[in-house]
Amino acid sequence: MRDENNHPDDATRRGPPVNRAPQQGHPRTYQGASSRPGAQPPAGASRSSAVRQPGKPKRRPAASPSSPQAVIARDFHSRLHGKPTHAAHSHAWHAGLLAFFLSITKFILVFLLIISFVFGGFGGGMLIAYVSTAEALTLSDFEISDAVLTSHVYDINGDEIAKLTGSENVDRVYVSFSSVKDTYIDEAIISIEDERFYEHNGIDVQRIGSAILSAVANGGSATHGGSTITQQVVKLISGDDQRSAQRKVQEWYRAMNLEQQLTKDEILDYYINLAPMGNNYVGIQAAALNYFGKDAKDLTLVECAFLAGLPKSPSYYNPLRETGRRNAMRRMRIVLSKMHELGKITDEEYEAALNTELVFKTSSTTTATTINSYFVEYAVEEVISDLQEERNISQEMAATLVYNRGYKIYTTLEPTVQSALDSAFMNQDLFQSDPEAIEDYPEKPTAGMVVINVETGAIAGMQGGYGEKIRNLGTNLAVDAYRQPGSSIKPLIDYAPALEVNLVTTATVYEDKAYTTLDPSNPGVVWPKNSSDHFYGPLTIRSAIAKSSNVIAVIVWTALNNMEEGLPLWYLKQVGIDRTDEVYPATAIGGFSIGMSPLEMAAAYATFPSGGVYREPYAYTTVEDSEGNVILDKTTQITSTKVYSEETCFLITSMLEDVITGGTATGNVLPIENDAGETIEVAGKTGTTDSNVDKWFCGYTPYYAAATWYGYENRLRTTTIPSGQDRNNAMRIWNDVMQNIHNTLPGATFTVPDDIVSLQVCTSSGLLATPECVAAGTAVTDYFVKGDYLTPDTSCTIHTATPTPTPDPSVPST
């Protein structure tokens, strides 16, 4: 414990710090090393009996001379010779005099600027307006606690599926300030960021003036910022870093307000847990674990100085890059120099630190003890995002609360659904039909899949990659894989909108042939072509969907767009996929600059079995704090949009059933039969991109909608899915999951609206079939909307009866 006479404790640490250099009665102790871990004195240094916390500091084990860590340390150490350019212990008298006059000048200048602003009429009015509109930070459940409370995640039945603590999230790990007070971390941070931290009330007028003069002297680029640690904490909590005079004034107000709510140690607690440390690491504990392989409470002097320098520019001082590490090492030496200048460390400690080799971990990541599922990670991300918006706080602050405040997160995960997903995504046969054939590929095939509950719009389960999940916070292909959708987009952007605006019926006939007018940017060029490399001739809309005709899809898209420019993409936006700035015909067949994720596609397809109502997908229902208070209620935020009529949904569903029973999915996606032998109807659409890079299947039953993407991540190169069975794997994965989900569900059919009628029509004309149509084999029964003006009410004009000739009496018979 620190000497109470020389350093305030948690409750009183507001006043100015006492100089703790040895000559001021607070010597450092050397016991083969400094009283804090890692500071090593030069030979002959005296050993004092006074220690900061007797018995606690431990000497840092020396790295083996031949170890990789030692080699790396010596390499970087050999490139950094000498001391910082500023010699803290040597000042000429004229330099001191000049510094005195400069400090007086700066103070007077800033004072005059503030006075003129406050009392300068218009400026004063703006200041008052800025302050009056500033929202004070609400710290209701942000209280500082040495104890980290574990948060729990539950499925839809209330059973626990995950525990969340900082240790399970290597990007951010909470550590209390009290546990690291016996390191040099506070001295290092205060020295480089805010040397008058214990003296000001939130803003440092002198530092602001110094920054202004520095900017003037350096052509507008200040050598240091004007923000105090308190101001930085305000930004870290609120996430507000917009550059404007209004924001800066409001930040000053919030900082002074924060100083009234918290002690100095509590402010430092926020800083050390929210400060960015590069590579998505937040807080000193995550940085200590990932850069040095140790807890923050065991950091040495040089390690503390190193970490204190990172928040200024985490990317520039990135320790995982060689140039970044060099920059960070130079920054560390500046921090040490400043600590020495301010009397935070002795001459001996300073000299020892400059000559101490800094040993880094060879691995860039720390493995969490528990690996959370893709669903849990997504649900937690959703909670963090909503909490950030609800509380008007930063993403870092929201994440810290979720992982460390004992929250209870109730999700929408359905165990039966997730179990079916987990089983399928561990089945090699569904992903690699011939493993030897792809043995030399730079990557192995993978997939992403999301299942949506049709009744609620909630996410029932997801899988973000093939095989065992081996790390937290990696790529989730269920939500992060934005890939070209191919023909799976056609029902969403072409056919359902066309049915809704009465542009077509299921029996409307178009000519599938070579066109040179459908691509405005390339007139005269035959486009599009079908994947089969031939044209089908006259096709009804039903047949065009079953055969996945690209030509008919573009014709329908063009007709829609001619009705109102952007109309197809407007309908796509209504089902949660906003690509309204991509108005060109290629989108009709899946040619987007930004692709779709399985989550987007599953939620969009769920619109059809839900009767035309789109619901934004969600992964949790409520969140409670450690005392049982509901702090987030997702059920009150769920919005629904009526996009299609029930008639449109039935008609598109009827045609998508043909894709499975006689179209492009035949034999791979099967009608579902439950354990009791009852039928559950299935509808869906395949999708393939150019060169077979991406494969999709999106479909639904009366219970669930699901979308599956299959392919390669293509991190190293674009990989074509090899010919053969693997090109059917998206369908096979989808079929396996959905068959297992529905085993115990009752038989079900899609709802037929009351005004749907069935008529026998001719597939050549789209009109009512005649006996001649029947004889020609072109008569089929199809569905229409009763009374709709497009519903056929005249007979086919292509197949007509041949009249029987009347005998001429004047012609003798033979």
Reduced to 3 DSSP states, what percent helix, strand and coil does the chain have, rounded to the nearest 5?
40, 10, 50
Could you give the C-alpha distances from 692 to 165, 412, 536, in angstroms and in order? Answer: 42, 34, 22
- Residue 393 CA, distance from chain mean position: 17
User: Dihedral angle at the C-alpha atoms of 52, 55, 59, 61, nearest 10 degrees?
Assistant: -150
Rounded to whole angstroms, how far apart are CA atoms 814 and 806? 16
For the sheet with 408-411, list strands across it.
Answer: 160-164, 151-154, 408-411, 620-624, 630-633
> Where would I find the beta strands (DSSP E) of 480-582?
509-512, 537-540
Beta bridge partners of 64: none
CA nearest to 146, candidates 290, 56, 266, 277: 266
Rounded to whole angstroms, how far apart are CA atoms 614 and 640? 6
Query: Of the listed 34, 151, 167, 193, which one is catalytic?
Result: 193
3-state class (DSSP) for residue 642: strand
CA nearest to 380, candidates 558, 9, 632: 632
Is the distance from CB of 185 to CB of 303 less than 8 angstroms?
A: no
Is the distance from CB of 473 to CB of 169 less than 8 angstroms?
A: yes
Q: How many CB atoms lie within 10 A of CB 667?
A: 9
At 409, the amino acid letter reads I
Query: Of the listed 238, 433, 487, 654, which one is catalytic?
Result: 487
Rounded to whole angstroms, how far apart are CA atoms 685 and 665? 7
Which residue matches tokens 């991540």?
713
- Whether 487 is catalytic: yes
- Whether 531 is catalytic: no
Sign of CA dihedral 46, 52, 56, 62: negative
Sign of CA dihedral 486, 492, 494, 496: positive
> Where would I find the beta strands (DSSP E) of 533-595?
537-540
CA nearest to 577, candidates 602, 545, 609: 602
- Residue 235 tokens read as 């930004």
Q: How many CB atoms lie within 10 A of CB 602?
A: 28
CA nearest to 415, candidates 698, 735, 741, 748: 741
Q: Could you list the active site residues?
A: 193, 487
